[in-house]
Amino acid sequence: MSDETERWRQIGDRLRQAREYLELKQEEAAKAVSLSRSALSLVENGRRKVDAVELARFAQIYGQSIEALTGVAETRPLPESVKALARAATELSAEDRDELLRFAKFLQARSPRGASRG
């Protein structure tokens, strides 16, 4: 398998995981992104590439950054408050950490680019 083929498979896998996390059916996600269900299936299996516009739609619908969906690591340092939150989260149960993550995604979805409200 070529490096490029493997890269598209990984992107497709991230897209599938994001969709499943939100408990969206392929039909629902495909409609939201303006794709057919079969095209979405090909994308999630790494057999169809996504263009920039489609990727931006996926990011918006799934409440994730394009970087997260493509696996491109962000290089900016983490703020101290985020580090403190991560340390506190290690003390929580797995169920509570899952709830904390859902809440964080909720906050991201209601605020453009996760910006804080003054």
pLDDT per position as a tens digit, 17-55:
999 999 999 999 999 999 999 999 999 999 999 999 999
Q: What is the largest CA-CA distance in the chain?
A: 49
75 falls within a domain: no
pLDDT the model gives residue 74: 56
Kindly tell me if the per-residue pLDDT of 57 is higher than 80: yes
CATH code of residue 53: 1.10.260.40
- Output the CA–CA distances (angstroms, integers) from residue 79 to 27, 36, 76, in the order listed: 38, 40, 9
* pTM of the entire predicted model: 0.61
Residues 55, 100 within the same domain: no
- Specify the pLDDT at position 12: 96
Residues 63 and 11 reside in one and the same domain:
yes
Task: Return the pLDDT at 72.
Answer: 82
pLDDT of the residue at 73 = 65
* Residue 47 structural domain: 3-70
List, in order, residues 6 or more apart from 23 with CB less than 8 Å away: none
Same structural domain, 84 and 61: no
Q: Are 30 and 39 in contact (CB under 8 A)?
A: yes
Among the ranges given (38-47, 49-58, 89-98, 104-113), the one the predictor scored with the smallest mean pLDDT:
104-113
- Same domain, yes or no, for 23 and 45? yes
Residues 62 and 85 in one domain: no
Residues 86 and 104 in one domain: yes
pLDDT value of position 117: 45
The structural domain count of the chain equals 2
Q: Are residues 49 and 21 in the same domain?
A: yes
Q: Using CA atoms, how far apart are residues 96 and 79, in angstroms rounded to an integer?
A: 22
Domain-embedded: residue 53: yes
- Average pLDDT (76-84) is 80
> Do 48 and 86 share a domain, yes or no?
no
